[in-house]
Amino acid sequence: MQGLIFDIKEFSTNDGDGVRTTVFFKGCPLRCIWCHNPEGLSPNPELYERTEGCLDCGLCRAPCAHEECRTFGRCLHVCPKNLVRPVGRYYDVDTLAARLLRQKSFFDSMGGGITLSGGEPLLQADFCEALLTRLSGQLHLAIETCGYAAHEDFVRVVSRCDLVMMDLKLMDPNTHRTYTGVGNEQILANAKWLKTSGIPHLFRTPLIPDITDTEENLRAIANFVGTDRIELLPYNTLAAAKYAAVHRTFTDRIDPEHAHPIDLSFFQNAVLRK
């Protein structure tokens, strides 16, 4: 069994308790218009190609014999400016687990662990389950998920985690479909189960100007989460630059000038992240 991973980031302090290594799974069933990881959307390996500083030398387009370059019809090894690279590498469970376990003594002393993120890790539920089972009892295991997964996949993966961080973006199903491409019924069903599961968890809401940050939506989210922990995350304005590199178009439907003031008074246990 193999998992497709598009990044492994060490020393993260935003993806759970302590200092963490975050494993980014490639592929997501949602298409949030504000997504800050466009290179994680496709469930296949793809080319990440920046154009700023390109010398137009043509070296990357000349025929080459490298096996890994054939898929893309470009040479990935010759660019003098390092502008062309593949996104997405297949790992088997043992190789990835061995890499993550090399940091065990560091995590033990710093109080961190690993976090499965994406994209959406639950799109590769079998691989996640196998990886988590392999690491269980050795590292602190967390997952960041949008929650859009078959209930049985959701349960068998998050049950193997020490911490679940789950997005709640929009409570109205039609608005959710408009801005993420899917309804929220499955997500809310999984979130309701999580709330009563006994698994340590927190919810997260990205504050997207005039979309998720409206008082109506935040009040509805506050009612849903009750006393559970929730983090409100700032809109990432740097995401747009990455879209062109994977041949996608960033939306012009988000206007940062339309951000609503955030009133935390109707939440019982919220943190507004900077």
Nearer to ligand SF4 by C-beta: 103 or 184?
Answer: 184
Q: Which of 84, 166, 187, 232 binds ligand SF4 (CB under 6 A)?
A: 84
DSSP string for residues in 160-196: T-SEEEEE---SSHHHHHHHHSS-SHHHHHHHHHHHT
User: In sequence order, what E strands does 105-260 have?
Assistant: 113-118, 141-145, 163-167, 201-206, 230-233
Does the protein bind ligand SF4 through residue 60 (CB under 6 A)? yes
For Cα atoms 117, 196, 142, give the angle at the middle one, nearest 5 degrees: 20
Q: Does 141 bind ligand SF4 (CB under 6 A)?
A: no
| b/e map 52-69, b = 16+ CB within 10 Å | eeeeeeeebeeebeeeeb
Q: Return the bridge partners of 262, or none.
A: none
Give yes or no for residue 62 binding ligand SF4 (CB under 6 A).
no
Q: In the range 1-40, which residues lie near ligand SF4 by CB under 6 A?
A: 28, 30-32, 35, 37, 40
Tokens 């690993």 belong to which residue?
114
State which of residues 83, 199, 220, 239 lies at the interface with ligand SF4 (CB under 6 A). Answer: 83
- Select the residue interacting with ligand SF4 from 5, 19, 87, 146 (CB under 6 A): 146
Span of 17-25, 57-65, 86-94, 222-230 interacting with ligand SF4 by CB under 6 A: 57-65
Taking CB under 6 A as the criterion, the residue among 5, 79, 100, 122 binding ligand SF4 is 79
Q: Which of 81, 151, 247, 253 binds ligand SF4 (CB under 6 A)?
A: 81
Q: Considering the complex, what minimum distance in angstroms separates the CB of residue 76 from ligand SF4?
A: 10
272/253 Cα distance (integer angstroms): 24
Q: Stretches 55-63, 133-141, 157-165, 228-236: which one binds ligand SF4 (CB under 6 A)?
A: 55-63
Q: Are 168 and 191 in contact (CB under 8 A)?
A: yes
For 174, the token pair is 């039609």
CA atoms of 157 and 133, how far apart (whole Å): 9
Q: C-beta of 215: minimal distance to ligand SF4 in Å?
A: 22
Interface positions with ligand SF4 (CB under 6 A): 28, 30-32, 35, 37, 40, 54-60, 78-81, 83-84, 118-120, 146
